[in-house]
Amino acid sequence: MYPSIRPMAAALLLLNVPITVQAADITLVAPVIVTATRTAQTIDETLASVVVIDRATIEQTQALDTADLLRLHAGLDVARNGGPGQTTSVFIRGAESNHTLIMIDGVKINSGTIGAAAVQNISPDLIERIEIVKGPRSTLYGSEAIGGVINIITRRAVNGTAFNASLGAGNQRTRKIKAGLHHAGTTLRGGVEAQRNISDGFPALRGSTLNRGYENNSINAYLGAKLSGVDIEASHWQTQGTSEYQDGYTLDPLAQDFTNRASALTLKANPSAAWATQAKLSQIADIIDQNQINPLSGANDFAHTKRNVFDWQNDVQISSGQLLTAGLTLSRENTESLSYGAGFDKNTDVNSLYVQDDLTLGAHQLLVAVRGTDHETAGFHTTWNMGYGYQATPDTRLIANVGTAFRSPDAFDRFGYGGNPNLKPETSRTLELGIRHSIRANHSIAITAFHNRMQDLISYNDPDGFFGPIPGANENIESATIRGIETSYRLALAQWRFQLEGVLQNAKNRTTGAQLARRASRSLTASTVYHVGRHQIGLDLLASGPRKDSDFSSDINNGYSLLNLTAQTRLGQHWTVRGKIENLLNKEYTLVTGYNTQGRLVLISIEYSLGQ
């Protein structure tokens, strides 16, 4: 049984508000998403398993980074090596952290050196919504999309002029400041938002008394125009700062500077009533520079990724019930690294073509997609997806999905320690069956079962041992199977909003027979929000089962439960005061053996907004 059901019941008493409310005909509006199929459709229409974190939820949650938002949804495991700004990994449905594709406004930001993205550096203050697609999406987006896709949509102007500014503070000398200005007219639109977040943090390592701080400066800017039937927009998102940490072996205090950025130029046009086309030229950078000289090499270690991508997408409406999507993606990537005196500087070209057909005939919907990818070193690879939906009744829909995905070996796999340039891609095949049912317009439930079989997983193989005469190498020698079932439940009653998500899964390495590290076999999340007039109070619960800590140890991290209390009140038309107590019950828990986690944290902020 989950250890946090009793704390949840106790926390409800803290609300001190009546919980007997009369049901009202509140309609749960299905949000429009683009990530699942690269085209706009509601969650009810899409065949994929999708989670949307909207702006209202982001403001209610008051998370300091994106990882804290993601972990409040079952099936998304988060591991963090300490406090704010420390290395953070996200696992979707039991897949590896580098099997999660992360995008900013549709632009892939995964590092080319280690394959993952620095979610700990992405500020929620600049986000309008997050679209999470669970399951394979390599057919639409290429490498890394084995477990799923996280598309972070930044804030944009809607209509007219809007201004916002906020100040926040909390214990551990946490300070936040943000300001933004947006305008949207008939022809021109534009905006800029900037944010600064500083914290002294807490000791990252167990037994240490040395606080490790974090500084993050973020900006998002865009300028767009509609000219002669063509919509053109230039955009730039960037976060940079410094993360302090501590060496796990020598206990030396260390720090590194980081920069993550994504810039894009996007053109959209409708050459005819049935044809929409979009071309996007983007560049990303993922930069880490150590502040200290490595004593073994006499130089500062670093890891740099720069990637230029051209993406051309075409959507053709064949008929009222059939939409054909096709496009090409050209990627040119440079990765450069120096670690303990060993380094590399490599360029990698990746070219791909994709096509998708989405067909609806009465109660039946069929989606078929295929992609061919030519990777400079990993060779040519084909992926595909098929989905089928059947509207059994006006309130019940049955869904089946099957698809393949892949992850090309990253630069560290090919050229780092144990590097092997002849590695093949890691591959997967996933089957998913689900049912969605609307009990009423304000009351819904969904259940999904999934089975993911992964092959050719890359692992370091050293049969002679670390001190043996023959050095080891990375090889495609492992496989894994992940089986699970997840459910979600939503209810809206008068001033109340309630959401519950749970997952049971078995993620196992078939080669070794061991459970995959840092992925819980069961987790439960719940969110309760109560609105009354200008006031709002909420509770967020996360309960996670035990997890194996590492592939290199037998440590088991115990299950844990967390409870966050949030509140906000509007003062007049323009001012809002928000407060949060994270880890309300001050629970001690472990995400990574040897590293501390966040204790009770109190945050208070005040925001001024004008327009929109």
How sure is the predictor about 2, in pLDDT bands with cuts at 50, 70 and 90? very low
* pLDDT at position 298: 84
* pLDDT at position 295: 83
Residue 170 to residues 69, 124, 233, 565, 609, Cα–Cα distance (Å): 18, 17, 37, 14, 22
H or E element in which residue 59 lies: helix 55-61
Range in 9-23, 80-94, 281-295 with the lowest mean pLDDT: 9-23
- % pLDDT > 90, the chain: 87
Whole-angstrom distance, CA of residue 561 vs CA of residue 88:
19
* The pLDDT of residue 521 is above 50: yes
* pLDDT at position 467: 59
Using DSSP, how many helices (H) and how many strands (E) does the chain show? 5, 33
| Per-domain residue ranges of the chain | 5-610
Tokens linked to 555: 């440590």
Q: Residue 119's closest CA among 53, 165, 56?
A: 53
In the sheet that holds 100-104, the strands lie side by side as 49-53, 127-134, 148-154, 100-104, 107-108
For the stretch 212-271, pLDDT in tens is 999 999 999 999 999 999 999 999 999 999 999 998 888 899 999 999 999 999 999 999
* pLDDT at position 6: 45
How sure is the predictor about 494, in pLDDT bands with cuts at 50, 70 and 90? confident
Which residues are CB-neighbours of 250 under 8 A, at least 6 positions away?
none
* The pLDDT of residue 608 is above 90: yes
* pLDDT at position 560: 96
3-state secondary structure of 415: helix
Whole-angstrom distance, CA of residue 93 vs CA of residue 451:
10
Report pTM. 0.94
Other CB atoms within a 10 A radius of the CB of residue 401 amount to 22
Whole-angstrom distance, CA of residue 581 vs CA of residue 601:
6
Range in 139-143, 285-289, 375-379 with the lowest mean pLDDT: 375-379
Which residues are CB-neighbours of 228 under 8 A, at least 6 positions away?
none
Burial category of 18 from C-beta neighbours within 10 Å (exposed 0-12, middle 13-18, buried 19 and up): exposed
Q: Which fold has domain 5-610?
A: Maltoporin; Chain A (2.40.170)
Q: Residue 128's closest CA among 108, 157, 102?
A: 157
Return mean pLDDT, the chain: 92
Mean pLDDT of 293-316: 93
For the stretch 309-320, pLDDT in tens is 999 999 999 999
